[in-house]
Amino acid sequence: MSVKEAKQAAQAKDSVELLEKYSIETNNILIDIRIETAQTESVPTYNVSIANISPTTKIILEKIRQEFVSRMNMMELEKFESASEAVNIREEFKKEIHDLILKYFPQTNKETLNMLINYLLEENLGLGKIEILLKDSALEEIVVNNHKEPVWVYHRKHGWLKTNIIIPNEARIRHFSTMIGREVGKEITSLNPLMDAHLHTGDRVNATLAPISNKGNTITIRKFASDPWTITKFIKEGTISLEAAAFIWLAIQNELSVLIAGGTGSGKTSMLNVVANFFPPNHRILSIEDTRELTLPENLHWVPMETRLPNPEGKGGVTMLDLLVNSLRMRPDRIIVGEIRRRKEAEVMLEAMHTGHSVYATVHANNADETVMRLTNPPINIPKQMLSALSLILVQNRNRRTGKRRTLQVAELTAEGDARVLLRYNAQKDKIEKIAESKMVMDRLELYTGMKKDEIEFDLHQKMRILKWLVKKDVANVNEIGLYVAKYYTGNLVLK
């Protein structure tokens, strides 16, 4: 290397800034994650490296993998039709890999042997290095666009990142999609090139095949939040203010219905999960989703339900409307609806509100006024006057430049069905500010609870005090919060 080249290499190294570094573990394999930004790159990079396997061992493992592929007929993988058959094949391959590893590493101890077996199994039978990404709880989305560009991820803290993982060819991407589909009884083919499915972990998967996606086969995985968002996490992140959180808690406690609006990726479902933190444990709760995303406190009386697509013959489908209508026969106190898309769903939801059920749902809209317009125009197209059964609209927003998610507006519905904004996010100050006093919600609370305005204000301050205490004590787990909220409702909560 010349002096000039060495100088350029040193400058390039100096231009890389480490944003974050951490480790994750999967099947005894230690993975180092480095998130870095470089002057030569337009977005930061998410670099994955396996810490406890040396470069020399990786070379030998690749040789083992190639020998394994040549010995086994990999087309057998295309023949299994059930999950049990897949397990049987996995066990057969495990024995083969076990023998091959001992051939090259005869002195390997049991723990290291199991680690190497798992590594090769995931490389050959699993989703390869995508399995590593699935283990990172900081990731929300994993995206494969084609085999020519790196896999992308959406990080909770850093937004969109390019990884150092590249799928070797289009056939491998298609194989991953086929494998995921088979697990849940779905198929993706040239005649049926679009697929919605989910992994056994609950992660949502969408796959497309070329030429529908022009640049190549794609896979989009939206990860299921094993550690869901809670109200304390929202407050600590600045997503919502103490005042707004206390006001929402007051509305939830007194069974007022809430609609959560926002764009794609704005945090609607996360807010729905946060709202559920305030449910009392003696209420029966039914949730209806296309794919299970909610995680409610364990102490709640909760029945989660999912829709189901029809089979290839067009039979056996269960729609959100089917579940919504059926839920009214299950004596619910509160109903959670994943997303309102069609008129019938909106009508049943509002009918449930009018008949005394508390309903919590999401809808795609960017602000409170747009939410009303979306509900009262095609394709939903419900009469504006019916909206008076709805008490609050919470609008979530994501700033795509900074990646910040914030509660944009908290609005109440007037008797005429118009949105009246009470709290609004000030982007310059990064703060939620009160811009109007509540009238409709306060009137309803006074009517249904018998409390006077000053008593309601005192209740709000008490709730703010409790939330502040929970944040200070770093109570972030959904089940812990559920227990503290339950103690509050039973009068047994003592702040120390």
Question: Helix/strand/coil (H, E, C) string of 259-301?
Answer: EEEECCCCCHHHHHHHHHHHCCCCCEEEEEECCCCCCCCCCCE
Q: Which CATH superfamily is domain 231-490 in?
A: P-loop containing nucleotide triphosphate hydrolases (3.40.50.300)
The label of the residue with tokens 């507006």 reads 409
pLDDT tens readout for residues 77-135:
444 444 455 556 667 777 777 887 888 888 778 877 887 877 777 776 678 889 889 99
The yes-or-no verdict on residue 219 having pLDDT over 70 is yes
322/433 Cα distance (integer angstroms): 40
* pLDDT tens digits, 283-295: 999 999 988 889 9
For the question of whether the overall pTM of this predicted structure is more than 0.85, the answer is no
Task: Report, as an integer, the average pLDDT of 297-324.
Answer: 89
Contact residues for 458 (Cβ-Cβ < 8 A; gap 6+): none
Q: Looking at the predicted structure, is the pLDDT value of residue 233 above 80?
A: yes
Q: What is the mean pLDDT of the chain?
A: 88
Nearest-angstrom CA–CA distance, 126 and 93: 12
In this model, does residue 250 exceed pLDDT 90?
Answer: yes
| CB-based contacts of 19, cutoff 8 Å, min separation 6 | 35, 36, 37, 44, 158
Contacts of 248 (CB under 8 A, 6+ apart): 240, 258, 275, 278, 392, 394, 410
- pLDDT of residue 60 exceeding 80: no
Q: State which H helix or E strand residue 207 sits in.
A: strand 204-208
pLDDT the model gives residue 206 = 95
pLDDT of 253 higher than 80: yes
Q: What is the pLDDT of residue 17?
A: 93
Residue 421 reports pLDDT greater than 70: yes
| Prior bond of 379 cis (ω within 30°) | yes
- pLDDT of 483 strictly over 90: yes
Say which residue, 227 or 473, is predicted with more confidence: 473
Read off the pLDDT band of 471 (50, 70, 90). Answer: very high
| Residue 195 pLDDT grade (very low, low, confident, very high; cuts 50, 70, 90) | very high
Kindly tell me if the per-residue pLDDT of 489 is higher than 80: yes
Pairing relation of β-strands 334-337 and 218-222?
unpaired
Other residues' Cβ atoms within 10 Å of the Cβ of residue 216:
20
| pLDDT at residue number 205 | 94
Q: Let me know: does 242 contact 197? Beta carbons within 8 Å.
A: no
The amino acid that residue 478 corresponds to is: V
Average pLDDT over residues 334-338: 94
**pLDDT for 494 beyond 80:** yes
pLDDT for the residue 156: 87
Look at residue 88 in the predicted model and tell me its pLDDT. 61
The beta strands (E) that lie in 263-398 are given as: 284-289, 301-306, 334-337, 358-364, 392-398
Q: What's the average model confidence in pLDDT over 169-192?
A: 89
What does the pLDDT read at residue 7?
Answer: 56
- Which residue shows structure tokens 């919502």? 240
pLDDT tier for residue 6 given thresholds of 50, 70 and 90:
low
| Rounded CA separation 169/2 (Å) | 36
**For residue 8, pLDDT beyond 70:** no
SS3 state of residue 248: helix
285 has which bridge partners? 302, 334
For the chain, what are the domain ranges? Answer: 231-490
DSSP states of 9-44 as a string? Answer: HHHHHHTEEEEEEEEEEETTEEEEEEEEEETT-SS-
Q: Is the pLDDT of residue 157 over 50?
A: yes
| Residue 465, pLDDT above cutoff 60 | yes
| Percentage of residues of the chain with pLDDT beyond 70 | 92
- Taking the CA atoms of residue 283, residue 288, residue 292 and residue 294 in that order, the dihedral angle to the nearest 10 degrees is -40
Q: What's the pLDDT score for residue 401?
A: 78
The answer to whether residue 4 scores a pLDDT higher than 60 is no
Instruction: Report pLDDT for 75.
Output: 44
